[in-house]
């Protein structure tokens, strides 16, 4: 590969990384997802841990996607890893919807203002039941 091609690849990769990083930071900062997440979980004293975990996750995820890393772990590690991923996505989605006030508006429109906790729990349990059904019914473990 010539030097010009290498420099072009470096430039395009750096520009793409800046674009994705800017979008990620805008998502977190403009919407205030991390501060709202700490309010929901009543862990405002640990806001710096949330911020650094988001930064570390972005760095490790980016590094692993560039390296095509493969971990040779036992299939029993899938349960705790899957649970941690589910908790992360669920809390991020909950914080995002809280920031955007989607659920309070929906609850008011369908007339269940006083039952918003039950509505959120029904959605969470439905999501868990759907995911379990998918993984237990559709995924072939014995390929």
pLDDT for res 89: 81
Q: For 20, list phi and psi in degrees, rounded to 5.
A: -65, -45
Distance CA 96, CA 34 (A): 9
Instruction: Tell me how far apart the alpha carbons of residues 135 and 64 are, in angstroms, rounded to a whole number.
Output: 25
Cα→Cα distances 51→11, 66, 132, Å = 28, 23, 30
The pLDDT of residue 98 is 67
For the stretch 89-139, pLDDT in tens is 887 777 676 666 766 777 787 787 788 788 778 878 888 888 888 888 877
Q: What is the pLDDT of residues 45-97, one digit of tens each?
A: 998 898 888 888 888 877 877 787 777 888 888 889 889 888 888 877 776 76
Instruction: Dump pLDDT digits (tens) for 2-16.
Output: 888 889 888 888 888
pLDDT reported for residue 100 = 65
User: What pLDDT shows up at residue 143?
Assistant: 59
pLDDT of the residue at 142: 62
d(CA 59, CA 27): 16
Instruction: Give the pLDDT confidence of 27-43 residue by residue, as tens digits.
Output: 777 677 788 778 888 89
Q: pTM above the 0.75 mark? A: no
CA dist 116 and 106 (Å) reads 9
């Amino acid at each position: 590969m010539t030097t010009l091609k290498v420099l072009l690849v470096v430039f395009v990769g750096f520009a793409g990384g800046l674009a994705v990083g800017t979008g990620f930071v805008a998502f977190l900062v403009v919407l205030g997802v991390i501060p709202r997440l700490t309010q929901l979980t009543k862990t405002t004293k640990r806001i710096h841990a949330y911020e650094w975990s988001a930064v570390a996750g972005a760095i490790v995820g980016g590094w692993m996607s560039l390296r095509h890393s493969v971990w040779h772990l036992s299939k029993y590690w899938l349960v705790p890893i899957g649970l941690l991923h589910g908790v992360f996505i669920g809390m991020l989605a909950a914080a995002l919807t809280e920031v955007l006030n989607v659920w309070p508006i929906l609850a008011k429109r369908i007339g269940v203002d006083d039952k918003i906790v039950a509505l959120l729990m029904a959605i969470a349990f439905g999501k868990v039941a759907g995911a379990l059904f998918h993984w237990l019914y559709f995924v072939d473990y014995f390929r």
